[in-house]
Amino acid sequence: MKVKKKLLIICVICFICIIIGIKTMYNWVHIEVVKDLTYESPHPNLIKTFLRPMEYCNSFHHINSGEEGDSNISGYSLELVHMVMRHGARTGMHSLPGIQVPTLSCKIESNSLYPNKNKCQGSDLTPFGMKQHITTGRYLQRKYGGLLNITQLYVRSTGYSRTYQSAVAVLLGFLNHTFLPFVRINRSREASFCSPSLFSGSCHCPGADKLIRKAKNEADKAEREDIDKQLLINRLRGVLETEIPVGLSVFSLIDVFMTFACHGIPLPCSQDQRKCVNQSHLDLIFKIQDRVGKQMVFENRNYIQFAHLYLHPLLEEMADRMKKVARRKPVESFVLYSGHDVTITPLATVLGIHDGKWPPFASRIVIELYKKTENKMHYFIKVFFNGEDVTSKASFCKNKTLKGFCKLKYFLDFVNNHLHDNGLDSYDEGCGIPNL
């Protein structure tokens, strides 16, 4: 009798679990423990020799280290972490005439990770990209596990499989597996992570669209006029023996060639296989890209204004959360935004921490909020770009850090004033939203 009763109770519990499971399947991430992934990654020799290009792929060694969480010093406690990241390595989204795009396996050894297919299609996260973010997650777990209640999470991702999978991968490395199935990933329509439910203004900003169009024209012009561009095209034509259009962007060249290089696949060759794209070509490509990128981030007024306008809602959202912590209101401990290069580049520009280089795969910007308890409560932030402590470089903290910390007030003032300081009267005015 007792055994039957127990069985009955177990059955009822199972039934409830199944119902809850089905009901929430759409919104809740179901994840299994991923065994060691089989993945293709850059060949170690490539990492050693192709320095600048391989920096773009982003090796595990680099992902697995950094200065985040190192400020756990006496008197300071970590209260809140915001992390904005770019998806991991993906397949190309462009094609070049005469170049066979390599077929990569997107088979991830877990039947619940989505999408899970034999062959990657364009712009899919590859198993190497997945592993990059599992590594990020494990790294963060090591750094933050003892400092924060990391189960108090808020996770957002844009609606692309590569960003969604990247978020899942970070969580896989970050969280206790018993907790994992209960994490909800909130979808963002915008790569800027403007949230209609958290931002008081409108996420529709035609002014930003206009600025980015102008900015892009300027950047395209800078690239066309770059002293090495014609040389590059001529060299590639010589190697590949195809009519590579003069107007082909360096962006698409990187996109295609790095799909090979980041996954350990030999670079494309001429039809007779006698000449191949090699390190010197990639170096030249990145030389142009870095030059054009620097120009954009430091001199292109339209781009700078765009970045400030575009990321204003996200900055406000972060500032609001920090203010809540300071007022001791309940708030998440760890907030993750899984986005794109077009998230990282403008954010790094706005914060004043960009060097103009196209952000590597799996790049991350982390902002930590600390509480210092003396007689009075004081709050400080720290900023990290790909693991490097860049607090003292951030525009609002320059020459104002104390023992490496930056007062929260400086950041809040910055969020209040950055539009005005960049020639924009207000968000609504900049966006071209008429006053009603």
| Among 170, 89, 169, residue whose Cα is nearest residue 124 | 89
H or E, element range at 385: strand 377-385
| Among 72, 60, 193, 71, residue whose Cα is nearest residue 137 | 60
Residue in the shown chain whose Cβ atom is closest to ligand NAG: 146
CB of 280 to ligand NAG, least distance (A): 4
Helices 301-326 and 341-351, packing angle to 10 deg: 80
Residue partners of 133: CB distance under 8 A and separation at least 6: 85, 87, 88, 166, 167, 169, 170, 173, 362
Q: Between residues 50 and 128, which has the closer beta carbon with respect to ligand NAG?
A: 50
| Among 338, 371, 298, residue whose Cα is nearest residue 80 | 371
CB of 57 to ligand NAG, least distance (A): 19
Place of tokens 């910055």: 414
CB of 357 to ligand NAG, least distance (A): 22
- Could you give the C-alpha distances from 335 to 21, 84, 156, 193, in angstroms and in order? 25, 8, 8, 12
CB of 156 to ligand NAG, least distance (A): 8
Which residues contribute to the site for ligand NAG (CB under 6 A)? 72, 74, 146-147, 149, 151-152, 176, 178, 186-187, 197, 239, 275, 278-280, 399
Check if the beta carbon of residue 134 is closer than 8 Å to that of residue 109.
no
CB of 302 to ligand NAG, least distance (A): 26
- Could you give the C-alpha distances from 210 to 223, 254, 383, in angstroms and in order? 20, 26, 30
Phi and psi based region of residue 229 (left: phi greater than 0; alpha: psi -120 to 50; beta: remaining): alpha
Q: What is the DSSP letter of 125?
A: B
Q: What is the DSSP letter of 344?
A: H
CB of 215 to ligand NAG, least distance (A): 28
Place of tokens 């969604």: 164
Q: Between residues 118 and 280, which has the closer beta carbon with respect to ligand NAG?
A: 280
CB of 152 to ligand NAG, least distance (A): 5
Q: Between residues 114 and 199, which has the closer beta carbon with respect to ligand NAG?
A: 199
Q: Between residues 106 and 134, which has the closer beta carbon with respect to ligand NAG?
A: 134
CB of 23 to ligand NAG, least distance (A): 17
Q: Between residues 117 and 400, which has the closer beta carbon with respect to ligand NAG?
A: 400
CB of 177 to ligand NAG, least distance (A): 7
CB of 189 to ligand NAG, least distance (A): 7
Q: Between residues 147 and 248, which has the closer beta carbon with respect to ligand NAG?
A: 147
Q: Between residues 149 and 234, which has the closer beta carbon with respect to ligand NAG?
A: 149
Q: Between residues 45 and 280, which has the closer beta carbon with respect to ligand NAG?
A: 280
Q: Between residues 127 and 387, which has the closer beta carbon with respect to ligand NAG?
A: 387
DSSP one-letter string for 248-309: --HHHHHHHHHHHHTTTPPPPB-TTSSSB--HHHHHHHHHHHHHHHHHHHHH-HHHHHHHHH
CB of 64 to ligand NAG, least distance (A): 17
Q: Between residues 105 and 202, which has the closer beta carbon with respect to ligand NAG?
A: 202
Pairing of strands 76-86, 153-158: unpaired
DSSP β-bridge partners for residue 36: none
Q: How many C-beta atoms surround the C-beta of residue 375 within 10 A?
A: 5
Measured in degrees and rounded to the nearest 5, phi and psi for residue 184 equal -105, 135
Q: Between residues 110 and 151, which has the closer beta carbon with respect to ligand NAG?
A: 151
